[in-house]
Amino acid sequence: MGLTRGSLALPRMNAHRLVIIAAAFTIVVAAALATALVTFSSQALPRAVRHDLSRAAGTSFVIRGNVTAAQGAQYTSLLPGKISAALEGAPFTFYRAYRSDPLGFVAGSRPAAPGNTRTDQIIEAATLQAVTAQTALVSGHWPADPVGGGPIPAALPVTAASLLHVRTGDMLQLRDRISDRLIRFTVTGLYRPRQVSSPYWGLNDVALSGSTTISGFTTYGPLTVTAAAFRGPLTVDGGSWVAVPRTADIQAAGTQLSAALTTLRSQAQSLSSNLSTVQIRQEFTKAMINTLTTGADQLTLADSNEEGANLLALQTRQQLSTTALSLAAQADQNVLRLFQ
């Protein structure tokens, strides 16, 4: 049976299909490895940031400045996103505080200005976010929102109360040094910090000793009030913001990332092994294709004149053989007739 180039098309297409499949799988493996490397490189800096922060417990970011109420609200809204970007997504806790205009002492009213300083003495009122979670009450209770035109409820650190010689239940009268308006406070309670070294206290402009002296001014306080007090008689003069990275969460995330990296390396080794197997099979398939192509070319590139002459010779031999058989049969029949 003769062979033509068309009769080898399907086997050759099948062989090429194996190569295409092998090449496609090779591309998939390479793409997976590239993706893994890109993912690792994109996480390298965040992982380094988390590693450094996890080893630096107590690290915090403190932002302070003179702002109006509107500006303070804007910064409180914008800063968490900016800090998150700076920390490369590391988890953190965010606190804010607003402080009042400087409040001056009023002669003949409580509290009396301490007389043991040559500086200009003022008091500061402030609203500190989450202050109740960072402190413990020593006496009284936490202040509520001010009502009507009544005095503003406020709590004081015990250290400041000691310096100012005030106690729970006292009525205070101070003067806003900017607007010159008289403002009354009632002391509802005294408190102390739960942890003096907590980075939370970066919110407070006044030292935990109850007073701070800077540039000729001694500031006492703060008179801790609710945020609602700044929608009434108090005016916002400045703000503080503190971001405290959660080191425990960072350490847990670092452990998870290390486990994921180990898994990634294992998968990369597996993919590398599979890639080697595919490459070996690809080389075998290419060799088989070359063999089939060579055989097909040898079969289909024969000289048609020579093959036609060979076919004619075979046909002639066949006819001569048939004639010889016929003559032999007739001779046998003639011999049999002689014996009849």
Tokens (6 digits) for 77: 């809204």
Residues 186 and 238 in one domain: yes
The mean pLDDT value for 42-48 works out to: 44
The mean pLDDT value for 6-17 works out to: 43
Is the pLDDT at 9 greater than 90, yes or no?
no
Give the pLDDT confidence score for residue 44 in this predicted structure. Answer: 41
Residues 123 and 240 in one domain: yes
Is the pLDDT at 266 greater than 60, yes or no?
yes
Nearest CA among 186, 160, 177, 174 for reference residue 108: 174
Residues 139 and 239 in one domain: yes
Residue 150 lies in a domain: yes
Residues 129 and 237 in one domain: yes
Residue 334 lies in a domain: no
Residues 106 and 196 in one domain: yes
Is the pLDDT at 152 greater than 60, yes or no?
yes
Give the pLDDT confidence score for residue 299 in this predicted structure. Answer: 66
Q: Whole domain around residue 144: which residue ranges?
A: 92-245
- Range of lowest pLDDT (32-41, 115-124, 213-222): 32-41
* Total domains in the fold of the chain: 2
Residue 73 lies in a domain: no
Residues 106 and 231 in one domain: yes
Give the pLDDT confidence score for residue 248 in this predicted structure. Answer: 61
Q: What would the pLDDT profile of 155-209 be if each residue is shown by its tens digit?
A: 999 999 999 999 999 999 999 999 999 999 999 999 999 999 999 999 999 999 9
Give the pLDDT confidence score for residue 340 in this predicted structure. Answer: 64
Residue 85 lies in a domain: no
Distance CA 289, CA 287 (A): 5
Give the pLDDT confidence score for residue 241 in this predicted structure. Answer: 96
Residue 309 lies in a domain: no
Is the pLDDT at 21 greater than 50, yes or no?
no
Q: What are phi and psi of 328, to 5 degrees?
A: -65, -40
This prediction's pTM = 0.59
Residue 328 lies in a domain: no
Residue 195 lies in a domain: yes
Give the pLDDT confidence score for residue 194 in this predicted structure. Answer: 95
* C-beta neighbour count of 309 within 10 angstroms: 11
Give the pLDDT confidence score for residue 325 in this predicted structure. Answer: 80
**Using an 8 Å Cβ cutoff, are 76 and 96 in contact?**
yes
Cis peptide, bond prior to residue 222, ω within 30 of zero: yes
Is the pLDDT at 300 greater than 80, yes or no?
no
Is the pLDDT at 29 greater than 60, yes or no?
no
Give the pLDDT confidence score for residue 339 in this predicted structure. Answer: 66
**Using an 8 Å Cβ cutoff, are 250 and 89 in contact?**
no
Distance CA 30, CA 269 (A): 12
Residues 269 and 229 in one domain: no
The number of angstroms, rounded, from the C-alpha of 135 to the middle of its chain's C-alpha atoms is: 33
The b-or-e profile of 208-218 (16+ CB within 10 A means b, else e) is eebbbeeeeeb
Distance CA 316, CA 55 (A): 99
Residues 122 and 198 in one domain: yes
Residues 10 and 135 in one domain: no
Residues 43 and 185 in one domain: no
